[in-house]
Structure 1
Amino acid sequence: CRRLRRMPAFTQRPILMLTANDTLQERVNGLEAGADDYMSKPFQPVELQARVRALLRRTAPAPIPPLSAQSRTIAAFSLRGGIGVSTLATNLAVSLAQIWGDPVALIDLALTSGQSALMLNLPMRTTWGDLVNLPLADIDADLLDQVLIAHTSGVRVLAATARAEQRELITGEMVSYVLNQIRHRYAYVVLDLPHDFSDTTLTGLDSADQVLLLLAPEIASVRAAACALDVFEKLNYPTEKVTLLLNTTVEQGGLARKDIEMALHRSIAQVLPYAGDLYLSALNRGVPPALELATKPLGGVLERWAFQLSAESQRAKPPVAPTPAWLRVAQAMQPRKAR
């Protein structure tokens, strides 16, 4: 029974222990081992049926809400490493959770070197590795709720596994199935993608409603972005699916925005300001700027940008109980509307 309870698939499953031992101590031992109920032999079939029905009533999971029209999957991606994709994904997830007051799923698909849990200072008690040996049919929304790690901001993280042998078992089919299950529970799903076009990465990109293509103001990053845009075109992604974001990683000497736009024949939707060592400090402490610096200029930029990426149906009308983050965004947007 203890071994079963250690398996993610059985953490919430009802367990009825049937045994010939009828002493008080045996009953206590069985319940402490993880059993929900205890029956000693012999017993009548009608009693067994009644106990099973009672267990099922007590442990019935909350119904999964239907896939919401505003459910939205946003992928952060770049073929160029080291320019802040994981930072972008983490802060976007935190900002969305803070603005709308609902849990947001952050899915780490950088399977060989994922940093999402680290950036939120979360212990990796559960990861993708807890799913790899399970049949897909056994992976449901309730199980995933046990595997995703909760952060105080409202973000729930599906962390990358640290074990190489487990990473090899994560397939595109599995990623597609898991993402579909998660979309039923979360209005927003943010994908932290690696710098490649592997099967699992392509699955994440295909599933995304919006792809945020991140680049830095340097030639190697622009070339990588051009390559990615070429692949997206071959994949027949609609132009509006891909949004260009420029992360100002250097204080001086970077390529000008207009020159980058001319080279890529695409407009840059958002420029993230130079933040010095703020991102590095945040990484080392596991506290994202979107949370710690929410009332500062950098936090404001991140919040407003997350609001712009939110579902149109949510942006169109004020929430019944607006969060402090929503109120900050609304106040910041008023001068723009006035102009």
Structure 2
Amino acid sequence: MKIKILSDSHDNAERLRATLVQAGRTMDVAVGHATSNDPIGAVNGTVPDIVVLDAFKASAIADLERLTQRYPQIDPIVITADTSSEFLLQAFRAGVREVLPPVPSPEVLQAALTRITRKRGGGATASAGKILAMTSCKGGSGATFLATNLAWILAASHGKRVALIDLNLQFGDASMYVTDQKPASNLALVCQQIHRLDAAFLSSAMIEVEPGFSLLAAPDDPAHATDVHPEHVEAILKVARANFDFVIVDVGRSLDSVSLKPFDMADTIFPVVQLTLPFIREAKRLVQVFISLGYPLAKVGLIVNRHQKTAEISLEDLERTINAKVYKTIPNAYEAVASSVNQGEPIARLAKGSPVTKALREIAESLAAEPEKASKGWLSRIFAAH
């Protein structure tokens, strides 16, 4: 856990650092001063998880709220002598997690850190879920169908905890593929209240499709796509990764600072392609973008949908042209897939013997059998976050 201490007093900052060490926590702690250009400062190159604000005054509430809006993944701890009900209400509305008295004891500070860790869904016992980003190389590839049905199989057949996040902000309809439930919330609404984000809040915003399978729907109004920012997506994925074995992101087709965030954080990226020239051309462009961002090719696995062994273009031709390996092929079984989509039923439940079901089960078995590995992260170097 990375913690930044901000104080106008060097002595106070060092005292807080010593207190954190006494609390017996394994943390990366840095001290510093806030400035208008760098309001928090990085800790070892990354944004901290917690910012401790020493000797905080009510006059800085507006600045604090701007900080939490810019960095929703941060949990602020405020140290202040002001305990009035009006101040506390303003502080919590601004996104403050904990308000502590001046010169907090190691026990008080440790208790506050424990509460924050629990809310974030983190800690030593937290799961390190895998993030799988599935994206269409071209419209009509079948990526959403594959993402939703793979999620269902991982949960229903392998007992995995699976979250599916529909990041197709303009025209997302992932929920319709596996359930008739109407989402009570969606990604945009979560982002509008990002200061409330923790494991419980995220869970309450999701549809439980199947025991172990939860889905966060896309905005119901395309106009609300602008409410979703890269830092929101990063914060949501961090909480989801800490609470699920697999986080499958249906990224859609756009390439911008929002869609690049799950690619950056993904353990594996699955571009979905078909063996026709328009698809192959777009897949090649997409892989070139991934290479320019510094992603290792081992992170990219092509899924060839509606594959026919007699196709004019071979899998070898595809791999040679795109410069990426085929992870799995999905056979062409139009009737079974169409029936699944039209009924909003997972194909593995509706057509257990379908070759598409078999292929999806093979992917799920492969993913479920892989040993857990540390997540990879890359900074988006083409599209700036702000």
Please report the TM-score for the alignment, with normalisation by the length of structure 2: 0.61
- Quote the offset at 1:260 in angstroms: 1.5
TM-fit CA distance, 1:181: 1.0
SS of structure 2 residue aligned to 1:73: strand
Provide the secondary structure at the position in 1 that maps to 2:227. coil
Q: Which amino acid in structure 2 is aligned with residue 211 of structure 1?
A: I
Q: Is the partner of 1:105 in helix, strand or coil?
A: strand
Q: What do residues 257-306 of structure 1 show as CA deviations (whole Å, max 9, x unaligned)?
A: 22222222333121111112222221110012133233544322211111
Which 5+ residue runs of structure 1 have no aligned equivalent? 1-60, 315-339
1:70 to partner: Cα distance: 4.7
C-alpha distance in 2, partners of 1:262/1:285?
38
* C-alpha separation in 2, matches of 1:196 and 1:298: 27
TM-score in terms of structure 1 length = 0.69
Whether 2:217 is the aligned partner of 1:125: answer: no
The residue type paired with residue 221 of structure 2 is R
In the alignment, is the contact (CA less than 8 A) between 1:64 and 1:141 conserved in 2?
yes
Aligned positions of 1:3-18 closer than 5 A: none
- Partner Cα separation in structure 1 for residue 212 and residue 353 of structure 2: 18
What is the Cα deviation at residue 311 of structure 1? Answer: 5.5
- Structure (1 or 2) with the greater strand fraction: 2
**For 2:133, what is the secondary structure of its paired residue?**
strand
Q: How does 1:19-34 map to 2 (within 5 A)?
A: none
Q: 1:140 aligns with which of 198, 201, 209?
A: 198
Structure 2 counterparts to residues 223-238 of structure 1, below 5 A = 223-238=281-296
Bigger RCO of structures 1 and 2 (CA < 8 A, at least 6 apart) = 1
Q: 1:119 to 1:193 in 2, by over 3 A?
A: same
What is the CA-CA distance between 1:248 and the residue it aligns to? 1.9
DSSP-derived class of the 1:248 partner: strand
User: Is the Cα contact below 8 Å between 2:333 and 2:355 reproduced in 1?
Assistant: no
Report the residue type matching 1:90 in the other structure: T
Match in the other structure for 1:267: 325
Equivalences for 1:45-84 in 2 at 5 Å? 64=121, 66=123, 68=126, 70-84=128-142
Count of residues in correspondence between the two structures: 254
The 1:92–1:313 alpha-carbon spacing in structure 2 relative to 1, beyond 3 Å, is same
The CA distance in 1 between the partners of 2:131 and 2:329, in whole Å, is 21
Kindly indicate whether the alpha-carbon contact (under 8 Å) linking 2:119 and 2:199 is maintained by their aligned counterparts in 1.
Answer: no
1:85 aligns to 2:85 (yes or no):
no
* Greater mean alpha carbon deviation, residues 288-297 or residues 223-232: 288-297
Identity %: 26
Q: Name the structure 2 match of 1:193.
A: 251
Equivalent residue number for residue 261 of structure 2:
203
Residues 1:72 and 1:214: Cα distance change in structure 2 (over 3 Å): same
Structure 2 counterpart of 1:107 = 165
Q: Is the 8 A contact 2:156 2:210 kept in 1?
A: no
Distance in 2, matches of 1:64 and 1:253, equals 47
Structure 1 runs of 4+ with >3 Å offset? 61-70, 249-254, 294-297
Residue 200 of structure 1, CA deviation: 1.3
Partners of 2:141 and 2:308 lie apart in 1 by 10
Question: How many angstroms apart in 2 are the aligned matches of 1:69 and 1:62?
Answer: 14
Residue 180 of structure 1: CA displacement?
A: 0.7
CA-atom RMSD in angstroms: 2.4
Q: Write out per-residue CA displacement over residues 56-92 of structure 1, whole angstroms, 9 at most, x where no aligned residue.
A: xxxxx89935475651010111231101010111111
Q: After superposition, what is the alpha-carbon deviation per residue over 1:209-232, rounded to whole angstroms, capped at 9, x for unaligned?
A: 100111101001001110011000
Secondary structure in 2 aligned to 1:184?
helix
